[in-house]
A = this chain, B = another copy of it.
Amino acid sequence: MKPLPVIGACCAPGAQPIAADDAQALADRFKALADPTRVAIVNRLAGADEVCVCDLVEDFELSQPTISHHLRLLREAGLVEAERRGTWAYYRLVPEAIDGLRVALAG
């Protein structure tokens, strides 16, 4: 798991050149949001403190493995984090990660 690198402004007028590594790291995080299901999951998590996986499986009309797959990608990108409590797993947003992307889009 990467330590969630902090990348400065890059994509609005006036931004300074960024290194190839940073472009790669940014692309990786944007890739996590490059799917409508994952955008919807993030949106769902943004509306509550935490959400049980079982609720996500009910909300979206996708198989449980597919939801699990998307959650993993979001987790690996550092955008969400999971906590296991007994039989259930609860997912939360990582606001700092979203902030990081917003900052990167600034000028």
Report if A55 contacts B (CB, 8 A). no
* Cα distance A67–B16 in the bound complex, in angstroms: 21
* Residues of chain B within 8 A of A31, CB atoms compared: 30-31, 34-35
Copies of this subunit: 2
Q: How far is the CB of A6 from chain B (nearest CB, A)?
A: 16
Do residues B43 and A23 form an inter-chain contact, with CB atoms below 8 A?
yes
* Residues of chain B within 8 A of A36, CB atoms compared: 20, 23-24, 26-27
Q: Provide the A67-97 mask, 1 if CB < 8 A to any CB of B, else 0.
A: 0000000000000000000000000010100
Do residues A26 and B47 form an inter-chain contact, with CB atoms below 8 A?
no
Q: What are 11 A-B contacts defined by CB distance under 8 Å?
A: A10-B46, A11-B93, A12-B98, A12-B99, A13-B46, A18-B40, A18-B43, A24-B36, A27-B34, A102-B102, A102-B105
